[in-house]
A and B are shown apart, each in its own frame.
Chain A
Amino acid sequence: MGIKAYISVFLGGLLIIAGSLGAGESLQKAEVYAITNATIVPVTAPIIEKGTVVISRGRIIAVGAEVEIPQEANVIDAQGMYVYPAMINSCTILGLYEIGSVRATLDSSETGKFNPDVRVAAAINHESVHIPITRSVGIALALVAPRGGTISGQSALIRLEGWNWSEMLVKSPVGLHISFPQVRARRRAAEEEDEEAISKAIQELKDYFTGARHYMERKEGAAKDASLTAPPVDMKFEAMIPALKGELPVIVSVTTSEAIKEAIKFVEEMKLKAIFHGVSEGWKVVDELKKADIPVILSSLYGTPREWKDGYDAPYRNAGILCQAGIKVVFSTGDAALANNLPYHAAKAAAFGLPKEEALKGVTIYPAQIFGVDKDYGSIEVGKVANIIVTDGCPLEITTQVRHVLIDGKPVDLSNKHTELYEKYRKKK
């Protein structure tokens, strides 16, 4: 090796050291953020004018009007702007859907009636174009839920940022999803015709749960008593055990008032911890829902009532009526392509009787609570994960612009397929 080579190795080494020093410094800086001069809406505490939020290593370490800004902090001056917790879409098919009419891009519905062992988590396409689009309006978390069959599978709560599905998981499973048998027809005659088939399907569902319970009991019995034989392993029944024990909630999709009543009977009889999803006719069975103490994930409010007698605004009034009765209501869109419309569903409910603060809670702290992640998510509080948005107005307003979205304490890229095409064709003259 000649002298030249020695020199170059030496210089190269110096460069590497300098480089890593620089990286170390910026890494440290990258982990501390201070959002200043903002109107902070923590959701679980009173509004703070001219406040500061300090974030370190992904978590909120200080919130208030008189907060010291650490020297190493990256400062986001939010003069004249608002700071809210990032929103949560409580039911979507994000990552399981790309183009509606192209079957190869759809992974949300497995075939067959009973698929308790099916899990969405590992099927989530982290490159889905719908994820950054949803994120750009200030949604940081989303429940990704399976559809189809009677027992559809297990959902996952994901953060809308990450290099793969595994990194995106906040919690999995979140619930065992059941598509409760009910009339789908809007015509009375067809409904009556359906009735028999429906009660049969409900019985089938009950039988399935009972079968799973027997399996669990036999398995537990064999574990305690060596003279008993354990049943052969059944992956489907295995997946049911956490739900049977009340450790995993069942998330029951149900819309009509008759079916909601049946579904309440079902979860009580089977002794399940339940969350209901859909529930567009919940307002007709408020007392029953309240008595059963079941929280509700509303699906899209953009439907028309089943009957004109319900009133044109029944889907809009629903949330307000449920809330007034003391039922916890959260919002969702159900889909992937318009998952970014979540805030407008909540606002629609607010236009028709739901208090505005409740509408906001229904996309922030309430979903965190019903999914059991409120220790870390859903509001701006010291110690929580810094999922924060900076906006120029109320995040439920359509015309509001979202300036920054922080997920796990880091600003995320707000560009997406839509903005990219916009920028590209804007240049064309």
Chain B
Amino acid sequence: MKRLPIILGGIFISLLILLLPPLIHTTYGQDLLVKNGKVVTLGKKGTIEGGDVLIEKGRIKKIGKGLRAPEGVRVIDASEMWVIPGIIDTHTHIGVEGGVNEGSNSVTSEVRIIDVIWPENISIFYALTGGCTTCNTMHGSANTIGGQNVVIKNKWGVSADELIYHRAPKELKFALGENVKQSNFPRVSGQPRYPTTRMGVEALLRKKFTEARAYMKKWDDYNKQKKAGKNPIPPRRDLQLDVLVELLQGKVRAQVHCYRADEILMMLKVAEEYGFKISSLEHVLEGYKVADAIAAHGASCSTFADSWGYKMEAFDAIPYNSALLAEAGVNITINSDSGERIRRLFQDAAKCVKFGGMSEEDALKTVTINSAKCLGIDKWVGSIEEGKDGDLAIFNTNPLSAYTRCEMTIIEGKVYFDRKAYQEEMEKLREEAKKKEEKKEKS
């Protein structure tokens, strides 16, 4: 009976831990009603002309027509505007303090972006100005295994911790090809870093996964013995292999930077040999050449709309890549990989219509719901559906038009970018600066 308080306490603490994330979540969410827009839900409700979206405590409560705002709830008039789900960028390096590559070693699975989030990076704000609400911020492609990425919401003005989207599953970045081989920049003096060929990249991957398997077995044996009541010595912990084991166990998503068809196939085969799944192939510019194999594996593809020719491995890139992959049944998304291009992903999406004739709705999906699927967060973001996060982007016209302009970006019911308000504020700042200048001249 003496143990009861401890047990009760334990239950209480575990309940608290279980309940805490949603509690934190709702704390930041707000109420909002967006009225009378052309709402492109990209979900079950299709497109609603003159539609309303009611957001309550950060989540979409209701979608329809003629919705009324509860008392005190802010109403945004979206007449003549297009309302789409907040854009999601599956491949960026924004909001990272310092370098994104721990380039001293080709395998650095132990390093984590989450430890170096830089909330004051202006790219986060720029992303908002292009309707982007969520992005996957990643390690670079210098290493075969680069480290652990993190998904953030572009809540400009909050702390590093509050930027992180805790619902997103854990991810690990891999890279293949020229960057890993260090082909395109002068080698630092001394010995070249292994690997310097695509052969070496495959060999290194297989070596590491073999080690990871052995390490996993050591822990399994240890756990078994412990369970059997024995008192075994625990294996020495290896942070680099820990995450690879989690990958083998299906707890971590593998995101693989790749270009050429050969290396794409190699990676799929290595994954299949060691029994893990590639969740997404990044860039994957020659993906269209092995679309069937990618579709069979079930990996998403996160590609560029039309960037190409900047290096040898990008010379067979075609802007039809997304259309061909989509036709093969692959979940396809367009990424920015840039703190500048992130402001105009909707225009890159439009290129899917031009090259290969994707429908406008499918094109918009490449930067919203498909991206959410790619990151494993489609239960919560990526389309305008009841119960999902209240993440919206509002444009003055069709977001696929070259003449379009993002007017407002909303995350979890809170307006983080409002073009009109922004312009007014900038005008005020300019006037203040002018006055200061005049004062200086007078004195």
Contact = CB atoms under 8 A, between A and B. Distances in A.
A, B co-complexed = yes
B227 interface: no
B289 interface: yes
B182 to A, nearest CB: 12
B318 A421 contact: yes
A401 B122 CA distance: 36
Interface stretch (A78-86, A117-125, A201-209, A335-343): A335-343
Contact of B324 (A356, A396, A419, A422): A422
A400 B401 CA distance: 10
A347 interface: yes
A100 B354 CA distance: 25
B289 A425 contact: yes
A100 B310 contact: yes
Interface string A280-319: 0000000000000000000000111000110111000000
A340 B307 CA distance: 11
Contacts of B289: 425, 428
A312 B400 contact: no
A429 B328 CA distance: 9
**How many residues of A sit at the interface, in one of the four size bands?**
35 or more
B309 A130 contact: yes
Contacts of B426: 309, 311
B393 to A, nearest CB: 15
A348 interface: yes
Nearest to B401: A397
Given A418-B320, A422-B324, A102 B402 contact: no
Interface stretch (B30-38, B272-280, B337-345): B337-345
Nearest to B346: A398
A398 B324 contact: no
A341 B306 contact: yes
Interface string B278-295: 000000000011011000
B143 interface: no
Nearest to A418: B318
Given A312-B126, A337-B308, A399-B354, A418 B405 contact: no
B351 A398 contact: yes
A302 B306 CA distance: 14
Given A302-B340, A398-B354, A418-B318, A337 B310 contact: yes
A422 B316 CA distance: 10
Nearest to A314: B426
Nearest to B396: A351
A350 interface: yes
Given A101-B311, A337-B308, A399-B353, A352 B405 contact: yes
Interface string B310-347: 11101110111000100000000000000111011001
A399 B353 CA distance: 6
A45 to B, nearest CB: 23
Nearest to B400: A399
A352 B129 CA distance: 13
A104 to B, nearest CB: 11
A304 B343 CA distance: 10
B402 A347 contact: yes
Interface string A409-425: 00000000111011001
Contact of B403 (A303, A338, A356, A422): A356
A338 B402 contact: no
Contacts of A421: 288, 316, 318, 320
B150 interface: no
B184 interface: yes
B47 to A, nearest CB: 17
Contacts of B353: 398-399
Given A303-B340, A421-B318, A425-B288, A309 B429 contact: yes
Interface in A318-377: 336-338, 340-341, 343-344, 347-348, 350-352, 356
Given A303-B340, A304-B340, A418-B320, A99 B400 contact: no
A161 interface: no
A356 B401 CA distance: 13
B318 A422 contact: yes
Given A302-B344, A312-B126, A425-B324, A398 B184 contact: no
A98 interface: yes
B306 A351 contact: no
A308 B122 contact: yes
The 6 A-B pairs at the shortest CB distance, nearest first, are namely A347-B402, A337-B309, A101-B311, A100-B310, A398-B350, A422-B320
Interface of B: 122, 125-126, 129, 178, 183-184, 288-289, 291-292, 306-312, 314-316, 318-320, 324, 339-341, 343-344, 347, 350-351, 353-356, 360, 400-405, 422-423, 426, 429
Interface of A: 98-102, 129-130, 302-304, 308-309, 311-313, 336-338, 340-341, 343-344, 347-348, 350-352, 356, 396-401, 417-419, 421-422, 425-426, 428-429
Given A418-B320, A425-B288, 5 more contacts: A100-B309, A102-B311, A337-B310, A398-B347, A425-B291
